[in-house]
Amino acid sequence: MTMPSVIVGESITLNPDGVREDDRLQWIFRSCCIAERGSGAHSSTVYDDRPDGRFKDRLKLNPQTGSLTIPETRTTDTGDFELLIIRSGKISIQRFRVSVFVHTDDIETVSVKEGGSVTLKTGVDDIQIFEQIQWKFGLNLRLAEITRETKKISPTAAKILEVKLDLDRKTGSLTIKKIRPTDDGIYMLRKIDERGNITTKLFRVAVDPTDFRNNPEEMPLNSIA
C-alpha cells in the first residue's frame, strides 16, 4: 500500500505501478467508481459527483499512465483509494491511503537524497519531562513511540516503508535510513506532557530521487553492462 500525504490546498497525484496501455482501469473511493479508463487508453471518464460530490471539478485522470490527480486537496479527501487493473479478464488491485493535513505554522521541511538518512528532531533535550512521544507517517501509520521507561518501533511500519527506523533514547528524535521516494510525505510528532497536554509538529520530508544518468560516478556497479 502506498501512503501519500499533503497539506490542505496542495495537489496530490496517485501514480499506479506497472500499468499497461491495454489495461482497463477503475479508481474506487468509498465503494464508488470515481474515474475509469477504457482498454487502449483511448477513453477516460471522471465521475466527480461521486460518492457525495466532494470531488466536484477536481479530478484529473491521465489516460496514458492512469494516474489520478486531485488538485486543491481538502481534509475530506483523506481516505483509501483503490485502483482496479483489469487485464485479460483478471483483476489486480493497488491501494493508496491518502492523508490530508490541516495547515499549521509549525511545519518543518527536510530534504534528503534517495538512499540517504534523515533525522527528525523533537527539540527535546531529555524526554523525561514528557509522558510520551509519538511519531506517525501520515495520519494513520504509527512509526514509533517512547516513554520514560519504554521505546518501541513498529515492525509493521518498518516493513511498509521498507526502511530502517531508529529512535533516540534521550531526545526521542526519529532517524529514517535508506530512504526512498515513496517515503516522501508528512511525518507527525506528538509530545504528551504530564498533564496530558499534546503538542503537535509536522515534518514535510522531500526525497530527491537519484538520477544515475546525470551522475554517472554514482551509478551502481551492477547497472554497468
Same fold for the pair 5-101 and 107-208: yes
Domain 5-101: CATH superfamily is Immunoglobulins (2.60.40.10)
With beta carbons less than 8 A apart as the criterion, state whether 12 and 73 touch.
Answer: yes
What type of residue is 172? G
Give the per-residue SS3 of the chain.
Answer: CECCEEECCCCEEECCCCCCCCCEEEEEECCEEEEEECHHHCCEEECCCCCCCCCCCCCEECCCCCCEEECCCCHHHCEEEEEEEEECCEEEEEEEEEEEECCCCCEEEEEEECCCCEEECCCCCCHHHEEEEEEEECCCEEEEEECCCCEEECHHHHHHHCCEEEECCCCCCEEEECCCHHHCEEEEEEEEECCCCEEEEEEEEEEECCCCCCCHHHCCHHHCC
The answer to whether 179 and 162 are in contact (CB under 8 A) is no
Supply the pLDDT for residue 211: 57
User: Is residue 131 within 8 Å of residue 144, measured between CB atoms?
Assistant: no
What residues contact residue 144 under an 8 Å CB cut-off, 6+ apart? Answer: 134, 135, 151, 152, 153, 154, 157, 165, 167, 174
**pLDDT score, position 212:** 41
Give pLDDT tens digits along the chain (225 positions): 889 999 999 999 999 999 998 999 999 999 999 999 987 767 889 998 888 899 999 999 999 999 999 999 999 999 999 999 999 999 999 999 999 998 877 899 999 999 999 999 999 888 888 889 999 999 989 999 999 889 999 988 888 888 899 999 999 999 999 999 889 999 999 999 888 899 999 999 999 887 544 444 444 433 332
pTM of the model: 0.79
- CB neighbours (10 Å) of residue 187? 23
Domain ranges across the chain: 5-101, 107-208
Q: What is the per-residue pLDDT for 165?
A: 92
Fold of 107-208: Immunoglobulin-like (2.60.40)
C-alpha cell at 41: 487508453
The Cα–Cα gap between 147 and 221 comes to 44
Residue 54 is which amino acid?
R
Residues 59, 34 contacting (CB under 8 angstroms): yes
